[in-house]
A and B are shown apart, each in its own frame.
Chain A
Amino acid sequence: MPAATENLIEQCRAIVEDLHLGEVRRWKEQNPGAAAIGYFPVYTPVELIHASGLLPVGLNGAGDRLDLQYADARFGSFICSIVKTTLEMGLTGYLDPLDGMLFSGICDSARNLAFVFERNFPQKYIDFLHLPQNPSSGASASFLKAEYLRLAAQLEKLGGRKLDDDALRASIAVYNENRALLRDLYALRAANPHQVHTSDLYLLQRAGNFLPVETHNTWLSRALADIADRQAKPRDSVRIVIEGSFCEQPPLDLIRLVEEAGCYVLDDDFILGRRWFTEDVPIDGDPLGALAESYLDRSVYSSVRHDFRHRRHKLLVEKVRRLGADAVLFLIAKFCEPAYFDYVLFKRELEAASIPHLLLEFEEKAFTFDRLRTEVETFVESLLFD
């Protein structure tokens, strides 16, 4: 990989690991008076925030970079780490650059977190979006459109521009480009997994949570061109799909470990909200309607979005077959109930299709992985020398 791309990835790592949200602070200095809106995983309609002239900021927890002093007492036992580190970031001032926070109903813990935020941060705009879970209903699209209008009105109160169709179309177009670049990078990796480290792709992608999307598009274009030209030698590896990391993120060292242990990652669900749509959101016609309909009909499958027309366990098996993967690696955050529930039906379906799989549980704040390394290595050996 050219040095330029290596530097870019290093720059991304620094942005991702900066708990002080330096990029967001910088953006606010350059755009005086404009608000930055954080969003908790997994999906949020960033186009609406962008079209209002505000900065959407994706939060994915604090990893191992923050000790919990207050949030443990607020959320108690049996609750996942990302809920606690996000609250801790708020209680210790790291989220000060954010003027607001958006949540949605991905799970019961995250939903309650939204309202704990509301009590603890009365000076911030805190909102909760209900993203419809019944896309079969003829009433879902108009409901979601109304929900987006409600959000737009709140953003306007925060100093955002009044929602306007042309601005929204432009925002959709720039995010379409961002998602298309990410889809291209993912397709490139799936076709030539030896050309790009998944840990690098992860950093490139996650840095976009903090950057203006236009800047991120430039960075992704450069990286895509460099990686496509890269000459690297393939090695014997097990070709896997990673499932279960759509919200709390595995530590970077764990992602590296999986690769070092002999896995080529063909697909993953890290920071899934950034690649939420399987194709472009249409920009002709009513843009708000297109954004709502895209959520109902063009979304990736996810353990936090329910669409009884298309069952997730069938879609995982289809994906494995389509990519020609050898196995599925479940990387599930401790206490992540949606992922653990889905695991049962995923496992059943994979076994019926004779697709090998391994489950690893992680916590974002973990920093030693000896046991996990042994498990992955044993799994890889069992597949390579089968």
Chain B
Amino acid sequence: MSEAPRSEYRGQIHQQQKDLMLHWYERLDESARTGNPPAVSLMISGNCIELLEGFGAVPLYPEVNALQLAIRHQSLDPILAAEELGYAADNCAYVKADIGAMIKGITPAGTPLPTPALVLCNFVGCNTYVKWFEHAAEFQGAPLAMLDVPFLRTAEPRAEDIDYVVRQLHEIVRQLEQITGRRFDMDRFREAVRCSARVEEAWSRIKNLARRTPSPFDAYFDAITLMGPLYVYRGSPEGVAFFELALKEMEEKVARGEGIYDQEKFRVVIEGPPPYPFFRSFRDMFATWKATAVASTYSTVGGLWEFGFRHDPDHPFESLALHMLAHNVTNRNYLQRYEQIRRYVEEWDADGIVIHFVKSCRLFSAGQGDMRDYFTRQLGVPTLYIESDLEDPRYFSEAQIKNRMDAFFEALEHSRSIGTLRRGAAALRHPAAGAGNAPVAGERLKILP
């Protein structure tokens, strides 16, 4: 194949994204030097950034630090340092990179990170988060609090689930008041929730623009660029300004009929986090085939808004609880994720699915063979399954992944040439089946005498 064509869109928002993230690191640096603003560690999954705004606190996201290390090819040293402490080859490499960096004093911007006033473990689906935050608090000597969000094991959250989370949110507010000596500012909190709703509206509209052919942006790789501001600034006017500008730029692209390539050849849905240490090479493997991700599950870790959920300033605590319980991919159950992907294929008009199994993240990856079985055998959607890691460069075999990707797109191209490639709703053998909690049952294998 020839060299991969340029694939990223570069508009005003890219400079703004950089400025916003730099400003975040400046606030963290200020917090490290003066203790003001106070920093609170949070996990990205279903994060409750709005609550922090009520204290004027700055979030410290260990995942963002870890992925920055990987993307700059600096993750292996801290991973090895963590393994010397006793972490196993099979532990999540995000955690290892973060803890290793902490021990070695490596920080993303080179300036020291603050010791958090509170390590707030928003347990939203990922069990590894709990371990991560326990360890982070231990190694940083910081106080630790749990925010236990019941896993979504029913179609909708139950009243008891919402009540449990809301009551814990109030408990955290009291705890943060004691730790920081600041009073929780209800008006500022409500305003943050209002900002979030506006950001979510703009973000959702951007994501829905990817239903167009050609899609004006890549809903996996470009979405990741927008995720930093989404999680750090969602509850602030800067976030609103940024996302409204992003929406305007994307709408202008749509008006001009611009995709990310001169011609969009394939439309795929990507499931799973990216291999950050090989982000560029991975993107190029799609670009080579002029394939655009029109939707992705990874971009819904922090929140799933394209199906309509918004934070509600009239019910701020309840809407935080609902967001954490039901409107992010990590706290939704595995079959609800199948359904999310199925909808993407159908409504975003995709040709196929790429499942990226990452060794570190069992939340995403455990059972993806069953997911592939569902999409290929039951729904008849072309699905590629590849394996590597999101943080540890030792688990990425570039030649092997490239071979598999090329074979997948060659097969799609062949199907198209003989007229059998179906897109969107037509690609699904049972387009209407599986709505709700349980997809159609798989076939049963019986071999017992």
Contacts and interface: CB of A to CB of B under 8 A. Distances in A.
Interface of A: 69-70, 72-79, 83, 91-94, 96, 105-109, 111-116, 118-122, 127-130, 132-134, 136-140, 142-143, 146-147, 150, 306, 308, 334-335, 337-338, 340-345, 347-348
A119 B441 contact: yes
Nearest to B165: A139
Given A116-B334, A128-B153, A143-B150, 20 more contacts: A76-B366, A76-B368, A77-B357, A78-B365, A91-B444, A108-B126, A108-B366, A116-B370, A118-B335, A119-B442, A120-B441, A120-B444, A128-B151, A128-B333, A130-B161, A136-B146, A137-B148, A137-B171, A142-B160, A143-B160
B422 interface: no
Contact of B373 (A74, A129, A345, A347): A74
Contacts of B357: 76-77
Contacts of A129: 153
Contacts of A91: 444-445
A342 B127 CA distance: 12
A345 B87 CA distance: 10
B158 A150 contact: yes
Nearest to B374: A119
28 contacts: A73-B373, A74-B367, A75-B370, A91-B444, A91-B445, A92-B447, A93-B447, A96-B448, A107-B362, A108-B361, A109-B367, A112-B362, A112-B366, A115-B333, A119-B439, A121-B444, A127-B153, A134-B146, A134-B148, A143-B161, A306-B130, A334-B90, A338-B127, A340-B91, A341-B135, A342-B131, A344-B86, A344-B87
Contacts of A120: 370, 441-442, 444
Contacts, number: 188
A300 to B, nearest CB: 18
Interface of B: 85-88, 90-92, 95, 123, 125-128, 130-131, 134-135, 138, 144-148, 150-151, 153, 158, 160-161, 163-164, 167-168, 171, 333-335, 338, 357, 359, 361-363, 365-370, 373-374, 387, 438-439, 441-442, 444-448
> A-B pairs with the 9 shortest C-beta distances?
A93-B448, A122-B441, A115-B334, A134-B148, A139-B167, A341-B131, A146-B160, A109-B366, A108-B362
A137 B121 CA distance: 13
Given A91-B445, A108-B362, A335-B90, A118 B127 contact: no
Contacts of A343: 86, 88
Given A75-B366, A140-B148, A341 B91 contact: yes
A347 B88 CA distance: 12
A83 B366 CA distance: 9
Contact of B365 (A76, A92, A130): A76
Contact of A79 (B150, B171, B362): B362
Contacts of A77: 357, 359, 387
Contact of B367 (A113, A130, A137): A113
Contacts of A113: 366-367
